[in-house]
Structure 1
Amino acid sequence: MAAPNTTQPAAPAREAVPLPPTRRQYLALAVLVLAQLAIWLDNTVLNVALTTLADPGRGLGASPTELQWSVSSYTLVFAVLMFTGGVLADRHGHRRLLLAGMAVFGAASVWAAYAQSATELVVARGTMGAGSALVMPATLALIAQIFDERHRAGAIAVWSGSSGLAIATGPLLSGLLLDHFWWGSVFLVNVPIVLLCGAGALLFLPGRGPQDVPPRFDPAGVSLSTAGLFALVWGVIEGGHRGAWSDPAVLGALIGGAALLAAFVAVELRVANPSFDVRLFADVRFAGASVAVMLAFFGLNGSMYYTSFYLQGVQGHTPLACGAALTPVAFGVLAGAPASARLVRRFGVRPVVTAAMLLAAAAFFSYVFLDEHSGLGVFWALLVLQGLGMGAAIAPTTEAVIAVLPSGRTGAGSAVNNATRQVGGVLGVAVLGSVLAGAYRDRVGPDLRDLPEPVGRAAAQSAESARLLAARLDRPRLADLADQGFVHAMHVTAAVGAAVTAVGAGVIWWAFGRAARGRAPGGRGRR
């Protein structure tokens, strides 16, 4: 008789509980957030200083064109060199490029602080943008290297949320420094951040792993993308400044830039080791998220540009009060970014990001209800809504972009994600800045006809020029006309920015809906 089988049935295997990130991973994330913070500070720190820079006594006596270029040169160079930064990071190591970029950024910050003319400031700001272009792709690529897919979305949400902190800290810090020191101090604040970030990178960020295979350098792709983007963006900015889109130089830059970018795409489709594989744009999620981010930052950067003039010029606030008035947007961004991660897990990217971008567009449009006498309470409420929308939109779209990138191409891929932000931002300042200037001239022009021709021409150039003339000539009516003209121009500009951001919401809805239909059998599936 066989012995009874006393073997107990095997207990079902327990699913392994994912371990939380380690202390070293958190410290590495802190370094990357600090680097991101430094880069974003210089996207915002100059906005509050623009009125000071326009003053011949306290600043550099910069013209409206020079003011726009002082903002745009940073984002322009940042955008056009982003592809190069991503390729170099993939080839030479993300930590190495981050350290090199921070060194360039810090040295150029000192140069900008001691610039002796508006032209020198524009060049120094462009050099700062070159350093940022080396840093930014490396930060996002290092997050993908440090965190696995279980924790990556949360890390990206924290990384994205830091931009909200910079949006608030930049204007507030700028206002505080301008109230106590000269205008160049707003750039020297970068130096200690650079030093701290460099030390942290050496201690906590990983170097190139032994399994990494550096991609071959693609000089044709890098050259064509850099030259094409520069020509195209320069044409847009200069066309807005001159108010003459048929100018041969502007038309030549626009057509030449488009031709160079078309050549870039053709080259990248043929080479074995492209600087960026444009085939990734065949993924509708990647393409949709990239375009939507660009359009969102178009509205954001444009609004940050004109609201500073509104607060200091029309409302008469000091730089410090102006910086403090802009801080509520950070509360919205810091709340929206982490909340979006939870909402996306429950509802999906498509409805969450679409709703977030529509909320941001509505906030941009609501500036049409502000006038010379509006209280700060209404303005703060609009900023919180704007921040919530932007924060909840950017983190999920960034995660969607990174999710479709192959390993080993995260540097170049994240460069596209960040380049679209900067291209959107520089176009926002350029296009909305030109809309603002044109609407202002159209509104005040008829009321300036009774002034001497040189005075009227100067007053029509900008509201800041008109106020300086009003004080010098003791014409308070001219200052009132400047305020009324600027508010009208801000209304027109806000409506344009809101419309562009709303288009981004439509792009997300279409792109992720199409992707969901493509993955689901029979055209059905969760979106």
Structure 2
Amino acid sequence: MLCSLLIWLENTVLSTTLETLADPVRGLGADPGQLQWATGAYTLAFATFMFTAGSLGDRFGHRTVFSGGLAVFAGASLWAAYAGDVDQLIAARAVMGVGSALITPATMAILMWTFTGPARAGAIGVFSTSAGVGMAAGPVLAGFLLDHFRWGSVFLVNVPVAALAWVGVAVLVPDFRSPVPRPLDPAGMLLSAGGLVALAYGLIRAGQVAAWSGADVWGPIAAGVVLLAVFVLVELRVEAPGFDPRLLARRAFGGGNLALGLLLFAVAAITFYHAFYLQGALGFSPMRAGLANIPTALGALVGAPLATRLVRRLSLRLVCVPALTVAALTMGGYGFLGLRTPFAGIEALLFVQGLSVGMVIGPVTAALIGDLPLEQAGAGSAVTNTVRQTGSVIGIAVGGTVMSIVYRRAIEPSLEGVPGPVREQARASAEQARHVATAAGRPALAQAADDAFVHAMHVGAVWIAAVALLGAGVLLITLPAAGARKDREGEPDPEASRGSVRAGRPAGS
């Protein structure tokens, strides 16, 4: 659980650190494209190594893989803490993603081997709670560290925690391994990684150039699509694939995963905007920005168990479709935020957003895995985790690109008559514009940058909400109406017994 908490902390601390990394004085002067890669490199490595890591655990022992993942994670955190430029930080973040991918499947496997019966359900509940604790603590911890130390401290703090966890794993955890190890899937890993990297590069590059017609934009995007298509074809021909596309042919499983991918796409994009809105446009300190994010985590902590109870009385579709619709509306609500929005209004929006997202992710994930035969639970978990992380990668790439394009167009009229070097910096990002405006004594330029950023956020909020609403539509169409409902006498609903999704049942139960 300490390792799980560590990974969730790492998933959230960077959003609070983005504004500092963009600062040329306090950080690395990163532009939006580099920040997209700093965020996306971790998630991309996480997504592509996830299913391979499970096979490694089956073959060499889950404790062995777990310990190796911790060592990789700690070493990469040390590298990130002392990175001399943005490229080094991006590389270190990618290696951290590899470490997290080695840890996560082993964590669940060790839980499933250690606990049985009611104890297993309790252990999975604690495991799920660690996510909410990490979501709540990550931004606050990052804010405290950034207010008192250099930016690298948000990564350096991982090292002693990982070392403590490594000792605990070595002393306390048996080295479980599957009696029938799954074969490794190097071709699948290379194709999926290459496809996602190429696709993400093309999408991010689109936000950095004036025209999209160049080969440096469409070439990588086309190559990424082709590689991912070949990846699916290869996995269909493998007898025991790490990522089994055949599972997506099941209507509820495929539709539910598509909806989760769209939701995580929207969450990643809106989180990217939110980080710059609080610290950049509103001028919050890192600590205040971290505290301002607590309602999101509290909402998620309340939403998951609330949805589980409601699903038992109603159905997965009746609970999760409205919840995902509300989540989409809260993301669209960013279109009404401005430089003078009351703080209470922002906090209320964040709480409702966290509540509604929490009511979707946990119940839908548990139901999709629980609906599979036990022998397919591991493969289903790999598919679900890969789809979710892929949604996050593409959301960051597309979200940041839209923000960059709209910001440049909005700031351009304010740059007439501005000296060339100042103009180029101001055009790069709102963070660079504020810095150069302060150095050049041009307060009007800083105000124009804030206005241009808010306009870009408003435009982005519209399409982000549309993507999340599409996910709600997918759930509405693909989830069965009966769900996991029980009748008044407490017997299973007859419709539910005919192949409907058994919502709320944890994997392996």
Q: Same fold (TM over 0.5)?
A: yes
TM-score (normalised: structure 1): 0.86
Whether contact under 8 Å (1:161, 1:333) holds in the other structure is: no
Deviates more, 1:263-272 or 1:292-301: 263-272
CA distance in 1, matches of 2:154, 2:221: 34
Residue 510 of structure 1 pairs with residue 503 of structure 2: no
Which residue of structure 2 aligns with residue 87 of structure 1? 55
Bigger drift between 409-418 and 348-357 goes to: 409-418
Give the Å deviation of 1:45: 0.8
Paired residue type of 2:37: W
Retained in 2: the 8 A contact 1:228–1:258? yes
Q: 1:162 to 1:276 in 2, by over 3 A?
A: same
* Aligned with 2:338 (options 363, 371, 374): 371
Corresponding residue of 2:491? none
Q: 469-478 vs 236-245, which deviates more?
A: 236-245
Q: Matches of 1:36 and 1:498 in 2, distance apart? A: 30
Tell me the equivalent position of 1:100.
68
Paired residues of 2:144 and 2:287 also in contact (CA < 8 A) = yes
What is the correspondence of 1:57-456 to structure 2 with a 5 Å cutoff?
57-147=25-115, 155-208=123-176, 212-242=179-209, 244-407=211-374, 410-456=377-423
Q: Retained in 2: the 8 A contact 1:35–1:197?
A: yes
Native 8 Å contact 1:237 1:427 kept in 2: no
Q: Which residue of 1 is the match for residue 488 of structure 2?
A: none
Q: 1:291 to 1:206 in 2, by over 3 A?
A: farther
417-426 vs 313-322, which moves further: 417-426
1:484 corresponds to which of 451, 467, 488: 451
Q: Which moves more between the two structures, 404-413 or 455-464?
A: 404-413
Q: Secondary structure at the match of 1:127?
A: helix
Kept in 1: contact 2:266–2:464 (CA 8 A): yes
Q: 1:294–1:420: 8 Å Cα contact kept in structure 2?
A: yes
CA distance in structure 1 between the partners assigned to 2:135 and 2:496 by the alignment: 43
Q: CA deviation at 1:470?
A: 1.4
The alpha-carbon distance between structure 1 residues 414 and 521, as it changes in their structure 2 partners (threshold 3 A), is: closer
Q: Which amino acid aligns with 1:331?
A: L
CA distance in 2, matches of 1:153, 1:316: 44
User: What SS does the aligned partner of 2:16 have?
Assistant: coil
Q: Give the direction of change, closer, same or farther, for the CA distance of 1:414–1:467 in structure 2 (3 Å limit).
A: same
2:479 alignment partner, SS class = helix
> How far is 1:352 from its partner?
1.5
Asked whether the 8 Å contact 1:175–1:320 carries over to 2, the reply is yes
Q: Which residue of 1 aligns with 2:507?
A: none
Residues 262 and 117 from structure 1, CA distance in 2 versus in 1: closer, same or farther, beyond 3 angstroms? same
Q: CA deviation at 1:93?
A: 3.2
Structure 1 portions without partners, runs of 5+: 1-30
AA at the equivalent of 2:461: A
Mapped to 1, the partners of 2:379 and 2:66 lie a distance apart of: 14
Q: Deviations over 1:295-320 (max 9, x none)?
A: 11112122221212111111111111
* In structure 2, distance between residues paired with 1:38 and 1:490: 30
Partner amino acid, structure 2, of 1:179? D
Give the Å deviation of 1:268: 2.2
Is the contact made by 1:301 and 1:429 (CA closer than 8 Å) also made in structure 2? yes
SS in 2 for 1:460: helix
**What percentage of aligned pairs have identical amino acids?**
48
Partner of 1:459: 426
Summarize the Cα distance change of 1:463–1:293 in structure 2 as closer, same or farther, 3 Å threshold. Answer: same
Q: Highest Rg: 1 or 2? A: 1
Distance 1:133 1:303, change over 3 A: same
Quote the offset at 1:273 in angstroms.
2.5
2:474 is paired with a residue whose SS is helix
8 Å CA contact retained: 1:356, 1:389: yes
After superposition, the Cα gap between the structure-2 partners of 1:197 and 1:66, relative to the gap in structure 1 and judged at 3 Å, is: same
Aligned to 2:489: none
Cα distance in structure 2, aligned partners of 1:139 and 1:405: 20
Provide the rounded CA distance (Å) in 2 between the counterparts of 1:294 and 1:341: 20
Offset, 1:105 = 0.6
Partners of 1:521 and 1:38 in 2: how far apart?
38
How far residue 146 of structure 1 moved from its aligned partner, in angstroms, is 4.4
**Is contact 2:317-2:481 (8 Å) kept?**
no
Q: How far 1:375 sits from its partner (Å)?
A: 1.9
User: Structure 2: how far apart are the matches of 1:199 and 1:355?
Assistant: 45
SS state at 1:214 partner: coil
Supply the distance in 2 between the matched residues of 1:141 and 1:406 (Cα, whole angstroms): 16
CA drift of 1:167 comes to: 2.4
Deviates more, 1:267-276 or 1:302-311: 267-276
Cα distance, 1:426 vs. partner? 1.7
Structure 2 distance, partners of 1:459, 1:198, is: 46
Runs of at least 4 residues of structure 1 off by over 6 A? 514-517, 521-527
- AA aligned to 1:41 is L
User: Following the alignment from structure 1 to structure 2, what is the Cα–Cα distance between the partners of residues 445 and 158?
Assistant: 51
Equivalent residue letter for 1:238: R
> Matched residues in 2 for 1:36 and 1:526: separation?
27
Aligned residue type for 1:110: L
- 154-163 or 455-464, larger mean C-alpha shift: 154-163
Pairwise CA RMSD of aligned residues? 2.7
Deviation at 1:248, TM superposition (A): 1.5
Distance 1:402 1:155, change over 3 A: farther
Aligned counterpart, 1:471: 438
Range 69-78 or range 245-254, more displaced: 245-254
Mean Cα deviation higher: 163-172 or 97-106: 163-172
Hey, what's the Cα distance between the residues in 2 that align with 1:513 and 1:413?
19
Contact 1:230 1:257 in 2 (8 A): yes
Deviation at 1:139, TM superposition (A): 2.7
Code of the aligned partner of 1:186: V
Change (3 A) 1:108 1:411: farther
State how far apart, in whole Å, the 1-side matches of 2:407 and 2:143 are: 26
User: 1:521: Cα distance to partner?
Assistant: 10
